Chain A
Amino acid sequence: MSNEKKSFWSKWTKAHDIETEEEILLDHNYDGIQELDNVLPPWWVTGFIITVIISIFYYIMIFQGHYKQEDELKAEIAEFQAYKKANPELFKENYDLPALTDAESLAAGKAIYTTNCAACHVADGGGLVGPNLTDNMWKHGGGMKNVFTTISDGVPNTAMRAWKSGGGALTAVQRQQVSSFVLSLQGTTPANPKAAEGSVKWPE
């Protein structure tokens, strides 16, 4: 070990020189294990004291400030409300979007459908947990506006969730695309169609 390095170490640890360590060798002997009586490394002592002080300080501060973890949630929500107020255009919900028929939008709609909806309605719309989407019987009404509303708001107390909010929510445009795709399934013949459900027979 170079001299320079040694002095670095000894400054940090105040360790006794190895060459003369007999001077601090205790008369302990445990199965041949001996013990030196090196002092506590100063940085260790300082660190310990600092953490203890910080801890006491932190604990007192937290109760002095009447901090409550619930307040963090309130702050987050308040922040979001302010953001909403500042950006009203982002939050305008329009339930009167028209059905799209161009190939590109329908392809986008199909992609959304396959990842999000096929589990319950089956890839070809034949239905499983959710109803068959290819027939003209609807539980919540056919046509763009109704389908868009069902998809956006979901059906309470069923597996059909609201897609406008929650984890993996769809934007208004995405909902418009997938609604358009759903409507494009009308009249197709799925492999294993589920029997028609609902009472609203929608005009073609």
Chain B
Amino acid sequence: MEQKEQFYYDNGIVRLFLRATIFWGVTAMTIGLMVAFLFIFPTYMENISWLSFGRLRPLHTNAAIFAFVGNGFMLGMYYSTQRLLKTRMFSDALSRINFWGWQLVIVLAAITLPMGMNSSKEYAELEWPIDILITLVWVAMGANLIGTMIKRRQRHIYVAIWFYISTFATIAVLHIFNNLELPVTLTKSYSVYAGVQDALVQWWYGHNAVAFFLTTPMLGLMYYFVPKAANRPVYSYRLSIIHFWSLIFIYIWAGPHHLLYTALPEWIQNLGTVFSVMLIFPSWGGMINGLLTLRGAWDKVRVDPVLKMFVVAITGYGMATFEGPMLAFKNVNAIAHYTDWIIAHVHIGTLAWNGFIISGMIYWLVQKLYKTELHSVKMANTHFLIGTVGILFYSIPLYIAGFMQASMWKEFTPTGTLKYSFVDTLQAMAPMYAMRAFGGTLYLTGFILLAINVYKTMKKGSFVGDELAEAAPLPVVSGKRAANEHWHSWLERKVVLFTILSTVAILIGGMVQIVPLVFDSSQVEKIATVKPYTPLELEGRDIYIREGCNNCHSQMIRPFRNEVERYGEFSKSGEFVYDHPFLWGSRRTGPDLQREGAEKRHKDNMWHFRHLLDPRSIETRSIMPSYAWLISDDLDYSDLEAKMKGLRKLGVPYTDAEISGAKTALEKQAAGIAATLEADSGFQKEFVAQGLEVKKKEITAVIAYLQRLGTDIGKSK
């Protein structure tokens, strides 16, 4: 018998992440609730620019994903990795850099997003300096993880660790390639990809952020905490192997299902569909392995809040991963896309799967860390109950809302006209939005109970920062595969090779889809009349991005009769070639704006002015924020030349003359818009007489941009 070595587990780092998870969880959900209330009371935070919907929504999603779930993953990862590998983390310094760096990223996000500094790409809104910081922190985490694997005292790496590795490697790849952007100033950059290509890269990222930030890390946690809490062996090792590799290989291909019926080339769209369908069983492999591990422990499940939460979490995972592929069928997607159905779908994933697996894990962990019993099991059971009811109240009304929206959008009268105006649909949705907010309130209340319960448990327990453990050192053996060694078992002791192979597995799908689209110019049609934005329009577009208008407005008309009737000619890939970044959006809380300047959507400048100042003065039932600050704030176009030069580097054909004359051209166009407004006697009385010099204001740029939208292709006719 070999001499055992003594060492200490680092519980200090686990406690740091525990506190952060709870703190950011409460924060993220509170912001979510603030946003939910905007749908019912659109004016309750009126005229506070940094609390307007377009800026808060990215703050909510980023906080929920990266702050809450991110910290929750690291919490469980730091606890379980040390124990699964029988060693302290590779480097305490890296652990701390990981923790404090991640919190710094979150704080910077919480400051910059409400200020309107964002790149517009969903769940990747943060601007380039923060993107670099994220990369460094993430690499610190990965180095620490790999270092720990190398100095491990356990011969093989357990399935939880496989998932941690693929999380690390894939998120690194996704984050870097989606955020390739050209900085213009410290707080502004343009995506290097344009239009269709940007859309594909973004949803390759967006979909796989769900896969590799909200799913694989949670599966890793499941594989450690479920057998631990239930005290049962994992159901099937073979299933772990098969579903791990098939999951990570297939997942990465499915991104284009976010872009069905768009201008994305159809061969890519259809790959998104079929790989989503093939994903059902690999996903369910995880669910089965989790639930069947509880075989023989169901009596415990009935009483233990930890296991109850795990069961609801895993069931939620199973539901969401069945629904996802269904949504990837074109005919289902035609109904669900752009509606609240998708919001319901993601919240099954986040509230049930992520929220409950993290909550269950916290209840279990806090008892281990503080060597005591939970302060109140009853309270935890209450959390479980109102959390579950909260999920139902959140999701069911939104499923109904999604169907209602879709059917109202599509309904024609017998005489071939659209039956409902856009705002009619909003009005019909109002009760659903109220129930959603109620469900959210319940869920948050449950989570606050967790915070109190954990705090009380910490108070009564005693925490040991460095926990003594012992294990035998790992004797050196040959790296070669032994004669009767299973190949996967061999791979489980070759950690670097394992990391490389899992990275290769996730690179294939992305490359097959993205490389041809970016490098083969025949994939995007050419439309001669499509021209770059004028300087004023460009500034207007940047304000549109700053305000996050794309969080409510799509700019992608699908080839359906009802959309063509409502919004005009359906969108063509060639129309977006100068759009760095693309602004197709993913949800129609407001109408599509791709042809706002053309055909049936066109309105005069005065309409836009009054509408942006106060949407409810034009459309009483509108839930769009009012943008009074666009009228009080001067347009800052000091970076205009830098912006145009930057875009030229990315392929937008601005000439030298256009760039050097940009400021003059901008002022001229602004003056022209101002003149049309000032021609109105009411405007004179109400604004000019009060000293408003509208040509200097941001609103002229936004109007110029809106009037330009969708007009280029009309010119060819």
Contacts of B603 in A (CB 8 A): 158-159
Q: B559 contacts A73, CB within 8 Å?
A: yes
A51-110 at interface with B (beta carbon < 8 Å): 51-52, 54-56, 58-59, 62-63, 67-70, 72-73, 76-77, 80, 83-84, 87, 90-91
Q: A165 contacts B565, CB within 8 Å?
A: yes
Q: B278 contacts A77, CB within 8 Å?
A: no
Given contacts A41-B288, A73-B570, contact A157 B281 (CB under 8 A): no
B607 nearest in chain A by CB position:
A159
- In the complex, B235 has a CB within 8 A of chain A: yes
Q: How far is the CA of A53 from the CA of B235 in the complex (A)?
A: 27
Q: A28 contacts B156, CB within 8 Å?
A: yes
Instruction: Pick the contact of B618: A36, A119, A195 (CB < 8 A).
Output: A119
Bits for B256-291, please: 1 = Cβ < 8 Å to A, else 0: 000001000011011101110110111011001000
| Interface range for B | 35 or more
Given contacts A73-B570, A159-B607, contact A44 B237 (CB under 8 A): no
- In the complex, A191 has a CB within 8 A of chain B: no
Bits for A8-39, please: 1 = Cβ < 8 Å to B, else 0: 00000101001001000110101111111111
Bits for B237-269, please: 1 = Cβ < 8 Å to A, else 0: 111101000100000000000000100001101
Instruction: Pick the contact of B415: A68, A120, A128, A171 (CB < 8 A).
Output: A171
Contacts of A21 in B (CB 8 A): 233
- In the complex, B606 has a CB within 8 A of chain A: yes
Q: B418 contacts A51, CB within 8 Å?
A: no
B618 nearest in chain A by CB position:
A119
A13 nearest in chain B by CB position:
B292
Q: How far is the CA of A51 from the CA of B566 in the complex (A)?
A: 37
Interface 9-mer from B29-37, B99-107, B346-354, B420-428: B420-428
Contacts of B246 in A (CB 8 A): 48
Instruction: Pick the contact of B237: A35, A62, A68 (CB < 8 A).
Output: A35
Q: How far is the CA of A106 from the CA of B681 in the complex (A)?
A: 31
Q: A166 contacts B417, CB within 8 Å?
A: yes
B616 nearest in chain A by CB position:
A119
Q: B280 contacts A40, CB within 8 Å?
A: no
- In the complex, A164 has a CB within 8 A of chain B: yes
Q: How far is the CA of A51 from the CA of B269 in the complex (A)?
A: 18
- In the complex, B83 has a CB within 8 A of chain A: yes
Given contacts A58-B273, A119-B617, A129-B610, contact A157 B236 (CB under 8 A): no
Given contacts A55-B275, A56-B274, contact A32 B228 (CB under 8 A): yes
Contacts of A84 in B (CB 8 A): 416
CB contacts between A and B, total, < 8 Å: 176
Minimum Cβ distance to chain B for residue A161 (Å): 7
Q: A72 contacts B559, CB within 8 Å?
A: yes
Give the interface centre of B224, B246, B415, B566 by most chain A CB atoms within 10 Å. Answer: B415
Q: How far is the CA of A120 from the CA of B606 in the complex (A)?
A: 11
Instruction: Pick the contact of A73: B278, B282, B560 (CB < 8 A).
Output: B560
B280 nearest in chain A by CB position:
A51
A22 nearest in chain B by CB position:
B233
Q: B236 contacts A77, CB within 8 Å?
A: no
Minimum Cβ distance to chain B for residue A38 (Å): 4
A156 nearest in chain B by CB position:
B602
Contacts of A203 in B (CB 8 A): none
A126-185 at interface with B (beta carbon < 8 Å): 128-129, 157-159, 161-162, 164-169, 171
Contacts of A47 in B (CB 8 A): 280-281, 284
Instruction: Pick the contact of A90: B233, B277, B415, B600 (CB < 8 A).
Output: B415
Given contacts A51-B280, A54-B277, A159-B606, contact A165 B239 (CB under 8 A): no
Give the interface centre of B83, B86, B281, B420 by most chain A CB atoms within 10 Å. Answer: B281
Minimum Cβ distance to chain B for residue A65 (Å): 12
- In the complex, B633 has a CB within 8 A of chain A: no
Contacts of A58 in B (CB 8 A): 270, 273-274, 277
Minimum Cβ distance to chain B for residue A134 (Å): 15
Q: B416 contacts A80, CB within 8 Å?
A: yes
Q: A33 contacts B234, CB within 8 Å?
A: yes
B39-90 at interface with A (beta carbon < 8 Å): 80, 83-84, 86
Q: A36 contacts B234, CB within 8 Å?
A: yes
Contacts of B240 in A (CB 8 A): 35
Instruction: Pick the contact of B564: A15, A31, A52, A73 (CB < 8 A).
Output: A73
Q: How far is the CA of A178 from the CA of B647 in the complex (A)?
A: 50
Q: How far is the CA of A54 from the CA of B603 in the complex (A)?
A: 48
Give the interface centre of A26, A38, A80 by most chain B CB atoms within 10 Å. Answer: A38
Q: A33 contacts B610, CB within 8 Å?
A: no
Instruction: Pick the contact of B84: A30, A83, A91, A129 (CB < 8 A).
Output: A30
Q: B570 contacts A33, CB within 8 Å?
A: no
Contacts of B619 in A (CB 8 A): 119
A56 nearest in chain B by CB position:
B274
Contacts of A195 in B (CB 8 A): 681
Contacts of B84 in A (CB 8 A): 30-31, 33
Bits for B570-590, please: 1 = Cβ < 8 Å to A, else 0: 100000000000000000000
- In the complex, B481 has a CB within 8 A of chain A: no
Instruction: Pick the contact of B296: A18, A31, A67 (CB < 8 A).
Output: A18
Contacts of B560 in A (CB 8 A): 72-73, 76
Instruction: Pick the contact of B417: A63, A120, A165 (CB < 8 A).
Output: A165
Minimum Cβ distance to chain A for residue B609 (Å): 9
Q: How far is the CA of A31 from the CA of B413 in the complex (A)?
A: 66
Q: 16 A-B residue contacts at CB 8 Å? A: A30-B84, A38-B239, A39-B238, A41-B288, A47-B280, A48-B246, A48-B281, A55-B277, A59-B271, A69-B269, A119-B617, A129-B604, A166-B418, A167-B418, A168-B423, A168-B424
Residue ranges of B at the interface with A (Cβ–Cβ < 8 Å): 80, 83-84, 86, 154, 156, 158, 224, 227-228, 233-240, 242, 246, 261, 266-267, 269-271, 273-275, 277-278, 280-282, 284-285, 288, 292, 295-296, 330, 413-424, 559-561, 564-566, 570, 600, 602-604, 606-607, 610, 617-620, 681-682
Return the 9 tightest CB-CB contacts between A and B, nearest first: A168-B421, A169-B417, A55-B274, A48-B281, A38-B236, A34-B233, A73-B559, A76-B561, A30-B158
Given A25-B233, A34-B227; 8 other pairs, CB 8 A cutoff: A34-B233, A37-B237, A48-B278, A51-B280, A69-B261, A129-B604, A165-B417, A171-B415
